[in-house]
Amino acid sequence: MRASPESPRMFESDFLDLFSRTPWWTVPLIWIPVSVAVFAYGVSNGAPVGLGILAALAGWLSWTFTEYSLHRTAFHWIPDTSWGPRFHFLVHGVHHEWDRDRFRLVMPPAVSITLGSFFGVLFRLALGPQWGWVTFAGFLFGYMVYDVVHYATHHLKLKQGWFLALKKHHLLHHHSPRHQDRKFGVSTTLWDHVFGTF
C-alpha cells in the first residue's frame, strides 16, 4: 500500500511509510487465533474451562479499561518539548488529522505485537500460568474487538442501535469541539460513564 490522497505519506522513508498502513482485516487474522491459542495454553496449565471463560471475560473488561485509559492519557498527551507535537502525531494525532484513512485506523502489527507481549508478561507475572493466560486471552480478544469496532465506526454503515450509539459517541469525540476531551471509549461507553467523561 503506497501513499495516496486517501492515505497520505507519514514518513520520508518508503519502508517506514509502507509499514504505517495496516488493513483492518489483519487484526482478526492475527488476534483471533492468538487469543484462542493463549486461552488453550492457560487451560493446558490447569485452568478449568468454565472458570477460564469467566477469567477471559474479566480480561476483556480489563481491556476496555486499558482502552479508555490509554486513549484519555497517552494518546492525547503532547509532551512540552520540541519533539512533542511530532510524537503526538505519530501516536494518535494522525488518526484525528486523517480520520478517513482506511489504512491508519488499526494498530500496525509490529506495534500491537510488541505491546501485546508486554501485557502478556504482566498478566503471567500477576496471575500465574493458569489464570494469567486465560485472562490475557480475553484481554487480547477485547483488543481485537476494539480495533475492528474502531474501523467500523469510521467506515461501515451498520444499522444496529448499539453500533449507531458507539459510532455517534466516537465521532463526537472526533468532530465536536466540546467533546474532544470527552468520549474516550471506543468499544464501550462504560468507563466514560464511570469517570464522568460521557
User: pLDDT tier at 58 (50, 70, 90 boundaries)?
Assistant: very high
Tens digits of residue pLDDT in 102-140: 999 899 999 999 999 999 999 999 999 999 999 999 999
pTM of the model: 0.92
Please say if the pLDDT value at position 100 is more than 90: no
Please say if the pLDDT value at position 36 is more than 90: yes
Q: What pLDDT is stored for residue 154 in this prediction? A: 94
Of the candidates 186, 122, 185, the one whose C-alpha atom is nearest the C-alpha of residue 149 is: 186
Q: What is the CB-side half-sphere exposure of residue 6 using CA atoms within 13 A? A: 10
User: pLDDT tier at 82 (50, 70, 90 boundaries)?
Assistant: very high
Tens digits of residue pLDDT in 131-159: 999 999 999 999 999 999 999 999 998 88
Q: What pLDDT is stored for residue 95 in this prediction? A: 85
Residue 91, C-alpha cell as written in the block:
501516536
Q: What is the DSSP string of the chain?
A: ----SSS----SSHHHHHTT---TTHHHHHHHHHHHHHHHHHHHTT--HHHHHHHHHHHHHHHHHHHHHHHHTGGG---SSTTHHHHHIIIIIHHHHTTT-TTSSS--HHHHHHHHHHHHHHHHHHHHHHHHHHHHHHHHHHHHHHHHHHHHHHH-----HHHHHHHHHHHHHHH-GGGTTS---SS-SHHHHHTT--
Average pLDDT, the chain: 94
